[in-house]
């Protein structure tokens, strides 16, 4: 598929579409395939899936600035809604299909319990290092930031501040 065909497909597609950029030799791509097929069946008739072999369409990948596979890109009404690079589980794939159906990104991807735990343990470790040093305030500060990164997506203050900032940035762009 060349660039012209790709953009014609995206612009003229009657439903939202998720594009899977993959390759036969890519093990994460192959590992993700069963979950991708399962979610595709769940959204059958509402969101379509188009699989593009990266080796057969390098110019399309270059134009979209896709540097790694697997990459999933959700489109609605010809516009990119969400992009995920790397192997995704069922929940991650479902999230892309939901974003395509809604026509917008649905907020940050929630962290898994394992990722939260790893961040929390790393942050506490950094705080411990800082407490053991005579001038370890930078380590303590870094540890607090890492700990916060484990829970930022659940913090109502963080959500309120970032929502307000995004609103201001969007309105400034519209004015220009």
Catalytic residues: 26, 29
DSSP-assigned states of every residue in 7-30? HHHHHH-SS-EEEEEE-TT-HHHH
Sign (positive or negative) of CA dihedral 68, 73, 79, 82: negative
CA distance 20 to 42: 16
* Contact by Cβ (8 Å): 70, 21: yes
- Nearest to 69, CA basis, from 85, 50, 58: 85
Cα distance between residue 79 and residue 98, in whole Å: 15
The CA distance from 61 to 58, in Å, is: 5
**Sign of the torsion angle spanned by Cα atoms 137, 142, 148, 153:** positive
- The token pair at 84 is 């995920």
């Amino acid at each position: 598929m060349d660039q012209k065909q790709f953009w014609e497909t995206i612009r003229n597609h009657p439903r939202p579409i998720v594009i899977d950029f993959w390759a036969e030799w890519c093990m994460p791509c192959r590992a993700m395939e069963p979950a991708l097929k399962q979610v595709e069946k769940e959204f059958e008739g509402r969101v379509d899936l188009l699989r593009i072999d990266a080796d057969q369409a390098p110019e399309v990948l270059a134009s979209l600035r896709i540097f790694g596979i697997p990459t999933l890109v959700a489109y609605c009404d010809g516009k990119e809604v969400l992009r995920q690079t790397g192997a995704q589980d069922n929940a991650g794939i479902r999230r892309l299909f939901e974003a395509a159906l809604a026509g917008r990104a649905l907020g940050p991807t929630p962290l898994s319990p394992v990722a939260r735990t790893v961040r929390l343990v790393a942050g506490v470790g950094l705080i411990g290092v800082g407490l053991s040093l005579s001038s370890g305030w930078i380590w303590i500060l870094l540890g607090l930031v890492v700990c916060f990164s484990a829970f930022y997506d659940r913090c109502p203050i963080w959500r309120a501040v970032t929502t307000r900032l995004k609103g201001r940035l969007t309105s400034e762009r519209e004015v220009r």
